[in-house]
Structure 1
Amino acid sequence: MIFQKFRELPDNPRYSIWLEPLWAIPGTIVLFYAPLYMKGAGLSDIQIGLINSVNLYFAFVFQMFAGAVTNKWGRKRTSLIFDLVAWSVPMFIWAFSNNFWLFLIAYLLNATNKFVTVAFNLLIIEDVKKQQRSHVFAMMNIIIISAGVLAPLAGGVISKYGIMPTLSVIYFAGGISMTVMFVLRNYLTKETEAGKVMIEANSNTHILRGVLQSFRLFGQSLRDRRILPILLITIISNIILQMNFFQVIYLKEELGFKDQMISWIPFITAIATIFVYSVVMPRMRNQSDEFYVKLSLALCAIGSLLFLFIPSGNTVMLCIVTTVLAAGMFLLPTYRDALLMNRLGKYEKADMFSSVQVVMSIVAIPWGYISGLIYAYKPSLLFILIFISYASVIALAFPMGRKTRRLVEKPLMIGEEE
């Protein structure tokens, strides 16, 4: 069933899904171990939080221009340029980072991935039918999460050789792997139909004018009851993601889990995610995207609550919590993003998606530093706040899919949806 859905997809998402492991395998490992890698380089909790906040600040600046640049340069070209700047170059810098300033430079460059967030998401879904979009997001997320099965192998190597030399090699090899992927994907994919229209329409448009257009459309969206709840859910869930950055450090320093055990978390996450996608979801195929968003938030809330009660060194409880959180955190971005894309007009996706990311960045900027302060004061307090956040956002999702169900097929702005 999964392979049949994959074969039915257009070239852009199919080629992108095939090539995604070249990013996902090294990317998943280094992102998971990034906090411990920075700690191993001698950075304090406050410095780590500061780097996160600086990264978020510049991400906000770049995000303001992402929609306009994507419309002017095209989805394909924008993805290639900023993938190289945001991932290839920083991966090589991270490989040799041994102080605060090198990490800061790498994370500043990595902040340009906000251009990629807009351009690549449009590249893989704009020529896809609406009912197929959740499958595209699901398959991409499955690949990224499934790469976690290699984390125990990395954990074993880390236990033998240490986190700094092991991660340095993975960063360097990942830089090569990602560069090959970006170039090859650019060769195999083609500009989307909507992208071609927007390139022509914006050929003589100044970038700043495009930025203003993005915010004008976003302002209109705030008055639309179909899209406001999903916007708020997207923004708040991104804040929670920033707060979760210290989870690995908490498991090691506060709960006493060894690096080897922690390395199994991505593996358990991958197995749970594959089970949800291949076994559970096919039995719930008649449910709406709104239903899955509500379900995912409920699972995240339950998982974050259980996380607070993990006894020190208790691997069974850790596995249970990881499984529940894995299911929720897989379903949430998959159906949240599909629902958001489906409610936007055909030619407004770049501007609207960019403006959503801008607002997310504005709100998230202080949370890297705030999370560091909260964790330094009392580590468990940070995860109590995460649970409260998930529990609160469920109220936003509850009305979705009820009175507004008939309106979903109508795009938010001008331009008929394909």
Structure 2
Amino acid sequence: MNRLSTRTKFRNHPLIKTLFGLDGNAKVLTLLEPLWGIPANLITPYATLYMYALGVDDVQIGTLMSVSMFIQVFFAFGGGIIADKAGRKNTCIFGDIFGWCIPCIIWAVSQNFWFFLAAIMLNSFEQVNQTAWNCLLIEDARPGDVLHIYSWITIAGLMAVFFAPISGLIIRRTSLVPVMRVLYAVFGVCMMIKCLITILFTSETTQGQRRRKETRHQSVLYMVREYKYILPKIFKDRPTMKILAIMVLLFMTTQITNNFFALYTTENLLIPKSALSFFPILRSVIMLIFMFAMQERLQDLPFRYPMAIGFFLYICAQAVLIFSPQRSFLFIILYTLLEAFAFALVVPRKDSMLALYVDPEERARIVSVLGVTMFVFASPSGYIAGQLSSINRQLPFYLNMALFVIAFFITIRFKDPLPTHTELDDD
């Protein structure tokens, strides 16, 4: 009886009901996410160490990070135009091939800084894909499903993390560089499979078809000039500007953490390299529990309250990492727990806010402008973090803490009512 009751509760859970109720592009793209997430999570804990092992130093790592963000400014700007003229589906495929498949081949054979620079420059094509992918994911979805869809995208990434220890175990038995070369090659193959499935099983969105017809006879130059009408819509809209500020701050902190966490924990805190892949598993377990046990209980709250708590937890996590003693797994575990709760509270809501507040008629171009603005403001952070890390590897995380404090105060000062789950369903 208890087993039956548990099974019934599981089937009736809003996230489960949403997943089985999805169809079309939202279902296909959600189910495809592990093809990106699994190889990415095998590689991410060791990407910086791979560069370091091939002679790329702290300052060069920070420089690569800033160059990447600077180049992505141009691709993000063009992403909206390409998504409108070529369609959401075609743009996604184009972005995956040039933004992931080809760079993965270069990463697999990298020898020095210049190889990584070439790969990162090509990987910036991914920003062309990002605008179109978000449109393809949610444009034909029900508004009330948007938060759950982004929650499932997050969950798909979390499930992929359970494969991460494979790379750690193999690296322990062999060595870092040859393992990473193979993993990057596998990543490239997975992304090619993802492209093929996207071609076969997704369809252009209704809004995408409309925009293709509207822009068919418009030149690219004409569409660029049209941005002078789009920009006032963005910069005069307070909710959109608040979302933009949060996007910039989160992007900067994510890039700093991705590029300097492994280096700091292994070189300064003396955590074994092979252990790095186990911390993401703990993070994923906590986030999965939170997603299924707590997320629904917070659905009816305005987004600003859970997000403010999340940013506070991010601040606490940075403090724990900074003051962690050497070889202390306990402190790194505590950091991982705090960061996991923070991510679960903040990121799905940030993505949902972007989808819900943006004018659907101009979604592609507005999202691309937001991406451009985000990269313009965030691009110096890589070089700054690299310089700080060369002085003291704790300093990038002090910078992270300061950025999270700013995000916290922006969030708690929200005066505009943010959508609740109930309001979305009423739409």
| Structure 1 position 325, deviation (Å) | 0.3
Unaligned runs of 5+ in 1: 412-416
Of 112, 115, 134, 2:125 maps to 112
Unaligned runs of 5+ in 2: 1-12
Question: Does residue 314 of structure 1 match 2:324?
Answer: no
Determine the structure 2 residue equivalent to 1:50. 63
Of 145, 148, 161, 1:132 maps to 145
Determine the structure 2 residue equivalent to 1:372. 386
Task: Check the 8 A contact 1:149/1:267 in 2, yes or no.
Answer: yes
Of 275, 280, 287, 1:261 maps to 275
Task: Check the 8 A contact 2:42/2:164 in 1, yes or no.
Answer: yes
Determine the structure 1 residue equivalent to 2:10. none
| Structure 1 position 366, deviation (Å) | 1.7
Determine the structure 2 residue equivalent to 1:340. 354
| Structure 1 position 112, deviation (Å) | 0.7
Task: Check the 8 A contact 2:38/2:161 in 1, yes or no.
Answer: yes
Of 26, 30, 44, 1:17 maps to 30
| Structure 1 position 93, deviation (Å) | 1.3
Of 150, 156, 160, 1:147 maps to 160
Task: Check the 8 A contact 1:93/1:102 in 2, yes or no.
Answer: yes
CA displacement, residues 300-321 of structure 1 (integer Å, 9 cap, x when unaligned):
1221222222221111121111
RMSD: 2.1
Task: Check the 8 A contact 1:218/1:356 in 2, yes or no.
Answer: no
SS, match of residue 29 in structure 2: helix
Task: Check the 8 A contact 1:343/1:409 in 2, yes or no.
Answer: no
Determine the structure 1 residue equivalent to 2:266. 252
SS, match of residue 239 in structure 2: coil
| Structure 1 position 152, deviation (Å) | 1.7
Query: Any residues of structure 2 matched to 1:348-387 within 5 Å, and which?
Result: 348-387=362-401
Determine the structure 2 residue equivalent to 1:33. 46
Figure out how many residues of one structure are paired with residues of the other and give that number: 412
Give the AA of the match of 2:158: I
Distance 2:167 2:374 in 1: 32
| Structure 1 position 162, deviation (Å) | 0.8
Determine the structure 1 residue equivalent to 2:301. 287
CA displacement, residues 372-413 of structure 1 (integer Å, 9 cap, x when unaligned):
11100121121111111101211111132x5535899999xx
SS, match of residue 413 in structure 2: coil
Give the AA of the match of 1:342: L
Residues 341, 214 of structure 1: alpha-carbon distance in 2 compared, 3 angstrom cutoff: farther
Question: Does residue 162 of structure 1 match 2:175?
Answer: yes
**Structure 1 stretch 283-292 or stretch 63-72: which is displaced more?**
283-292
TM-score by length of 1: 0.94
SS, match of residue 252 in structure 2: helix
Task: Check the 8 A contact 1:67/1:214 in 2, yes or no.
Answer: no
Determine the structure 2 residue equivalent to 1:103. 116
Segments ≥4 residues shifted beyond 6 Å: 406-411
**Structure 1 stretch 342-351 or stretch 214-223: which is displaced more?**
214-223
Task: Check the 8 A contact 2:168/2:273 in 1, yes or no.
Answer: yes
Give the AA of the match of 2:55: G
Give the AA of the match of 1:47: Q
Distance 2:192 2:158 in 1: 20
Task: Check the 8 A contact 2:87/2:209 in 1, yes or no.
Answer: yes
Distance 1:406 1:87 in 2: 34
Question: Does residue 390 of structure 1 match 2:410?
Answer: no
Distance 2:349 2:250 in 1: 13
Determine the structure 2 residue equivalent to 1:222. 235
Question: Does residue 71 of structure 1 match 2:63?
Answer: no
Of 276, 295, 302, 2:316 maps to 302
Task: Check the 8 A contact 2:301/2:420 in 1, yes or no.
Answer: no
SS, match of residue 301 in structure 2: coil
